[in-house]
Amino acid sequence: NPDQFTLFNFIPLPGCDIWKDPGKYNIRIVNQDFKNYFNIAGNNQGGLVVETEELGVKDLSNLRQDFVAFLNKKGQSGPLQDYYNK
């Protein structure tokens, strides 16, 4: 059982190899609005800006929600930080 967990969405940043050549990594960058290029810890969710051939943005969002729910059921001994309220 984790003491604490944080789950981030994958976000390739401009200038990295994945940003320059996403097809090489079998992903598509579907959103280049930089307001969506952030990561927030805890139960909050950062931007979803990539998808794969098999998993669209909605699929990835649902998988993340399911995994967070699973981790929450297992419990954690440390508190989650809500960065939206900081």
Tens-binned pLDDT, residue by residue, of the chain (86 aa): 667 777 778 889 889 999 999 999 999 999 888 877 776 644 456 678 999 999 999 999 899 888 878 887 877 666 655 555 55
Phi, psi of 15 (to 5 degrees): 100, -25
Residue 29 contacts by C-beta under 8 Å, 6 or more apart in sequence? 12, 19, 22, 49, 50
Cβ neighbours, 10 Å, residue 49: 21
